Amino acid sequence: MALSNGSGILSVSGYSTPIEVTFAFAFTGSSFDSFRVYTRAGSFNSNGYGVKGVGVSFRIQEDTGNLTGNIALEDNGAVLATATVALTKNTYYTVRLADTGSSLSLFLNSSTSALLTASTSASYGNKIASFNREGAGHGSFISAGSVSSLDYVTVAVLPLPFISAISAPRQIVNLGQNLTLSVTATSSTAVSYQWKRNGLPISGATNASYTITNAIPLRDGGWYHVAVGNGSGTTMGAVIFVSVVVPTA
Protein backbone atom coordinates (compact mmCIF):
# COMPACT_ATOMS: atom_id res chain seq x y z
CA MET A 1 0.00 0.00 0.00
CA ALA A 2 1.20 3.54 -0.75
CA LEU A 3 0.66 6.89 0.93
CA SER A 4 -0.33 10.19 -0.64
CA ASN A 5 -1.22 13.64 0.67
CA GLY A 6 -4.64 14.03 2.21
CA SER A 7 -6.62 13.62 5.38
CA GLY A 8 -7.81 10.49 7.10
CA ILE A 9 -6.06 7.22 7.82
CA LEU A 10 -4.49 4.74 5.47
CA SER A 11 -5.53 1.23 6.44
CA VAL A 12 -5.80 -2.22 4.95
CA SER A 13 -7.94 -5.02 6.38
CA GLY A 14 -7.67 -8.78 6.37
CA TYR A 15 -4.18 -9.34 7.80
CA SER A 16 -3.40 -11.77 10.58
CA THR A 17 -0.20 -12.41 12.48
CA PRO A 18 2.55 -13.41 12.22
CA ILE A 19 3.41 -10.64 9.76
CA GLU A 20 6.23 -8.27 8.93
CA VAL A 21 5.46 -4.65 7.95
CA THR A 22 8.21 -2.75 6.14
CA PHE A 23 8.22 0.97 5.35
CA ALA A 24 10.63 3.81 4.65
CA PHE A 25 10.25 7.31 6.06
CA ALA A 26 12.01 10.64 5.73
CA PHE A 27 11.71 13.89 7.69
CA THR A 28 11.49 16.72 5.16
CA GLY A 29 10.17 19.65 7.17
CA SER A 30 11.14 21.50 10.31
CA SER A 31 10.18 21.64 14.00
CA PHE A 32 8.57 18.25 14.76
CA ASP A 33 6.23 15.59 13.49
CA SER A 34 4.91 12.26 14.69
CA PHE A 35 3.27 9.25 13.14
CA ARG A 36 2.25 5.71 13.95
CA VAL A 37 2.08 2.41 12.09
CA TYR A 38 -0.22 -0.06 13.83
CA THR A 39 -0.97 -3.73 13.30
CA ARG A 40 -3.83 -5.66 14.93
CA ALA A 41 -5.78 -2.39 14.57
CA GLY A 42 -9.53 -2.18 15.00
CA SER A 43 -12.18 0.16 13.61
CA PHE A 44 -11.86 3.93 13.84
CA ASN A 45 -13.66 7.07 12.65
CA SER A 46 -12.65 9.12 9.64
CA ASN A 47 -10.72 11.83 11.48
CA GLY A 48 -8.41 9.38 13.18
CA TYR A 49 -9.78 9.36 16.71
CA GLY A 50 -10.38 6.02 18.34
CA VAL A 51 -7.62 4.08 16.58
CA LYS A 52 -6.65 1.04 18.64
CA GLY A 53 -3.82 -1.29 17.80
CA VAL A 54 -0.25 -2.29 18.54
CA GLY A 55 2.81 -1.14 16.67
CA VAL A 56 5.36 1.65 16.46
CA SER A 57 5.24 5.42 16.93
CA PHE A 58 7.83 7.94 15.77
CA ARG A 59 8.21 11.46 17.16
CA ILE A 60 10.78 13.39 15.15
CA GLN A 61 12.18 16.59 16.66
CA GLU A 62 14.56 19.17 15.17
CA ASP A 63 16.45 21.33 17.64
CA THR A 64 19.25 23.76 16.66
CA GLY A 65 20.00 21.75 13.55
CA ASN A 66 20.05 18.38 15.27
CA LEU A 67 17.40 15.85 14.27
CA THR A 68 16.37 13.05 16.62
CA GLY A 69 13.75 10.36 16.42
CA ASN A 70 12.04 9.07 19.53
CA ILE A 71 10.77 5.59 18.68
CA ALA A 72 8.33 3.59 20.79
CA LEU A 73 6.59 0.26 20.59
CA GLU A 74 3.00 0.72 21.73
CA ASP A 75 -0.09 -1.16 22.80
CA ASN A 76 -3.08 1.14 22.22
CA GLY A 77 -0.94 4.20 22.98
CA ALA A 78 0.70 2.67 26.07
CA VAL A 79 4.49 2.67 25.65
CA LEU A 80 6.12 -0.78 25.84
CA ALA A 81 9.72 0.07 24.88
CA THR A 82 11.57 3.16 23.63
CA ALA A 83 14.76 4.23 21.87
CA THR A 84 16.21 7.51 20.59
CA VAL A 85 18.21 7.70 17.35
CA ALA A 86 19.99 10.51 15.49
CA LEU A 87 18.50 11.23 12.05
CA THR A 88 19.45 13.21 8.94
CA LYS A 89 16.89 15.41 7.21
CA ASN A 90 15.71 14.34 3.73
CA THR A 91 17.18 10.86 4.22
CA TYR A 92 15.00 7.78 4.03
CA TYR A 93 15.20 5.19 6.79
CA THR A 94 13.83 1.68 6.42
CA VAL A 95 11.85 0.14 9.28
CA ARG A 96 10.78 -3.48 9.67
CA LEU A 97 8.10 -4.21 12.27
CA ALA A 98 7.79 -7.93 13.00
CA ASP A 99 4.56 -8.93 14.75
CA THR A 100 4.22 -12.53 15.92
CA GLY A 101 0.86 -12.00 17.62
CA SER A 102 2.47 -12.12 21.06
CA SER A 103 5.49 -9.86 20.53
CA LEU A 104 6.77 -6.92 18.49
CA SER A 105 10.30 -6.39 17.18
CA LEU A 106 11.57 -3.31 15.35
CA PHE A 107 14.58 -3.28 13.03
CA LEU A 108 16.11 -0.11 11.56
CA ASN A 109 17.71 -0.06 8.10
CA SER A 110 19.62 -3.26 7.31
CA SER A 111 20.32 -4.29 10.91
CA THR A 112 19.56 -7.90 11.80
CA SER A 113 19.53 -7.03 15.50
CA ALA A 114 16.28 -5.63 16.86
CA LEU A 115 16.42 -2.03 18.05
CA LEU A 116 13.32 -2.61 20.20
CA THR A 117 11.38 -5.68 21.34
CA ALA A 118 8.30 -6.02 23.52
CA SER A 119 5.71 -8.61 24.44
CA THR A 120 2.00 -7.99 23.89
CA SER A 121 -0.83 -10.34 22.93
CA ALA A 122 -3.52 -7.62 22.70
CA SER A 123 -5.55 -7.63 19.49
CA TYR A 124 -8.06 -4.99 18.37
CA GLY A 125 -8.75 -6.18 14.84
CA ASN A 126 -7.18 -7.28 11.56
CA LYS A 127 -6.25 -3.88 10.10
CA ILE A 128 -2.89 -2.31 9.42
CA ALA A 129 -3.13 1.46 9.87
CA SER A 130 -0.74 4.35 9.19
CA PHE A 131 -1.60 7.78 10.53
CA ASN A 132 -0.38 11.02 12.07
CA ARG A 133 -2.00 11.75 15.41
CA GLU A 134 -0.51 15.19 15.95
CA GLY A 135 -1.14 16.69 12.52
CA ALA A 136 -4.20 18.69 11.52
CA GLY A 137 -7.28 16.57 12.00
CA HIS A 138 -5.38 14.03 14.07
CA GLY A 139 -5.81 11.57 11.23
CA SER A 140 -3.72 12.98 8.41
CA PHE A 141 -1.54 10.81 6.23
CA ILE A 142 2.11 10.76 7.19
CA SER A 143 2.98 12.79 4.09
CA ALA A 144 0.45 15.53 4.91
CA GLY A 145 1.98 19.00 5.11
CA SER A 146 5.29 17.83 3.60
CA VAL A 147 6.72 17.32 7.07
CA SER A 148 7.36 13.58 6.92
CA SER A 149 6.76 11.11 4.13
CA LEU A 150 6.54 7.37 3.62
CA ASP A 151 8.02 5.89 0.48
CA TYR A 152 6.20 2.55 0.71
CA VAL A 153 4.52 0.13 3.07
CA THR A 154 4.70 -3.59 2.40
CA VAL A 155 3.29 -6.51 4.36
CA ALA A 156 4.55 -10.08 4.23
CA VAL A 157 4.26 -13.28 6.20
CA LEU A 158 6.89 -13.39 8.91
CA PRO A 159 9.53 -15.77 7.53
CA LEU A 160 10.70 -18.91 9.30
CA PRO A 161 14.19 -18.92 10.83
CA PHE A 162 16.95 -19.40 8.27
CA ILE A 163 19.75 -21.79 9.21
CA SER A 164 22.98 -20.55 7.66
CA ALA A 165 25.46 -22.91 9.34
CA ILE A 166 25.42 -26.14 11.34
CA SER A 167 27.96 -28.71 12.53
CA ALA A 168 29.24 -31.22 9.97
CA PRO A 169 26.94 -34.23 9.41
CA ARG A 170 29.45 -36.78 10.78
CA GLN A 171 31.04 -36.24 14.20
CA ILE A 172 33.45 -38.53 16.09
CA VAL A 173 34.28 -38.12 19.77
CA ASN A 174 36.50 -40.29 21.93
CA LEU A 175 35.14 -42.02 25.03
CA GLY A 176 35.14 -39.62 27.98
CA GLN A 177 35.75 -36.52 25.85
CA ASN A 178 33.48 -33.57 25.05
CA LEU A 179 31.87 -32.60 21.74
CA THR A 180 29.96 -29.40 20.91
CA LEU A 181 27.29 -29.24 18.22
CA SER A 182 26.18 -25.80 17.04
CA VAL A 183 23.81 -24.01 14.68
CA THR A 184 23.65 -20.45 13.32
CA ALA A 185 20.20 -19.10 12.50
CA THR A 186 18.76 -15.71 11.58
CA SER A 187 15.22 -14.46 12.14
CA SER A 188 13.26 -11.20 12.27
CA THR A 189 12.17 -12.13 15.79
CA ALA A 190 13.56 -14.06 18.73
CA VAL A 191 14.20 -17.74 18.08
CA SER A 192 14.00 -20.85 20.24
CA TYR A 193 16.18 -23.94 20.02
CA GLN A 194 15.58 -27.59 20.88
CA TRP A 195 18.21 -30.24 20.26
CA LYS A 196 17.07 -33.84 19.87
CA ARG A 197 18.81 -37.21 19.92
CA ASN A 198 17.26 -40.08 17.96
CA GLY A 199 14.10 -38.00 17.60
CA LEU A 200 13.63 -37.29 21.33
CA PRO A 201 14.13 -33.86 22.94
CA ILE A 202 17.24 -33.52 25.11
CA SER A 203 16.36 -31.96 28.44
CA GLY A 204 17.87 -28.48 28.84
CA ALA A 205 19.33 -28.43 25.30
CA THR A 206 17.66 -25.17 24.28
CA ASN A 207 20.54 -23.00 23.09
CA ALA A 208 22.27 -22.49 19.75
CA SER A 209 24.90 -25.01 20.82
CA TYR A 210 24.78 -28.31 22.69
CA THR A 211 27.78 -29.94 24.36
CA ILE A 212 28.11 -33.67 24.97
CA THR A 213 30.28 -34.09 28.07
CA ASN A 214 32.23 -37.19 29.11
CA ALA A 215 30.89 -39.04 26.09
CA ILE A 216 29.56 -42.60 26.53
CA PRO A 217 28.57 -44.73 23.48
CA LEU A 218 25.13 -45.94 24.62
CA ARG A 219 24.09 -42.61 26.09
CA ASP A 220 25.54 -40.16 23.57
CA GLY A 221 25.97 -41.92 20.23
CA GLY A 222 23.24 -41.52 17.62
CA TRP A 223 21.39 -39.11 15.34
CA TYR A 224 21.11 -35.46 16.42
CA HIS A 225 19.18 -32.56 14.97
CA VAL A 226 17.98 -29.15 16.16
CA ALA A 227 14.62 -27.43 15.76
CA VAL A 228 14.84 -23.62 15.44
CA GLY A 229 11.53 -21.81 15.91
CA ASN A 230 9.99 -18.34 15.81
CA GLY A 231 6.45 -16.97 15.73
CA SER A 232 5.83 -18.41 12.24
CA GLY A 233 6.92 -21.98 12.92
CA THR A 234 9.96 -24.23 13.02
CA THR A 235 12.95 -24.88 10.76
CA MET A 236 14.65 -28.24 11.19
CA GLY A 237 18.43 -28.46 10.99
CA ALA A 238 20.22 -31.18 9.04
CA VAL A 239 20.81 -34.46 10.86
CA ILE A 240 24.19 -34.98 12.53
CA PHE A 241 25.44 -38.48 13.31
CA VAL A 242 27.66 -38.75 16.40
CA SER A 243 29.93 -41.75 16.97
CA VAL A 244 31.56 -42.32 20.36
CA VAL A 245 34.68 -44.42 19.91
CA VAL A 246 37.07 -46.18 22.29
CA PRO A 247 40.65 -45.31 21.34
CA THR A 248 42.93 -48.28 20.68
CA ALA A 249 46.02 -48.63 22.80
Answer with the one of 109, 128, 157 that is the final residue of a domain: 157
Identify the pLDDT of residue 138: 39
Identify the pLDDT of residue 135: 41
Are 84 and 203 in a shared domain?
no
pLDDT digits 0-9 by tens, 93-123: 889 999 989 999 999 998 878 899 999 999 9
Identify the pLDDT of residue 172: 96
CATH code, 112: 2.60.120.200
Identify the pLDDT of residue 143: 41
Identify the pLDDT of residue 236: 94
> Is residue 5 in a domain?
no
Q: Which residue has the higher pLDDT, 93 or 148?
A: 93
**d(Cα 243, Cα 182) in Å, to the nearest integer?**
16
32-41 and 54-63 strand pairing = antiparallel
**d(Cα 154, Cα 76) in Å, to the nearest integer?**
22
First to last CA, the chain: 71
The answer to whether the CB of 49 falls within 8 A of the CB of 84 is no
Find the mean pLDDT for residues 169-193.
93
Max mean pLDDT among 21-25, 153-157, 172-176 falls in: 172-176
**d(Cα 239, Cα 119) in Å, to the nearest integer?**
33
The answer to whether the CB of 50 falls within 8 A of the CB of 9 is no
Q: Which residue has the higher pLDDT, 16 or 54?
A: 54
Reference 37, options 148, 131, 121; nearest CA is 131
User: Of all helices (H) and strands (E), which one includes residue 72?
Assistant: strand 66-75
- The structural domain count of the chain equals 2
pLDDT digits 0-9 by tens, 25-77: 777 766 666 778 889 988 766 555 567 889 998 887 777 667 888 899 999 88
Identify the pLDDT of residue 1: 39
pLDDT digits 0-9 by tens, 182-227: 999 988 777 899 999 999 999 999 999 999 999 999 999 999 999 9
Are 199 and 237 in a shared domain?
yes
Are 212 and 149 in a shared domain?
no
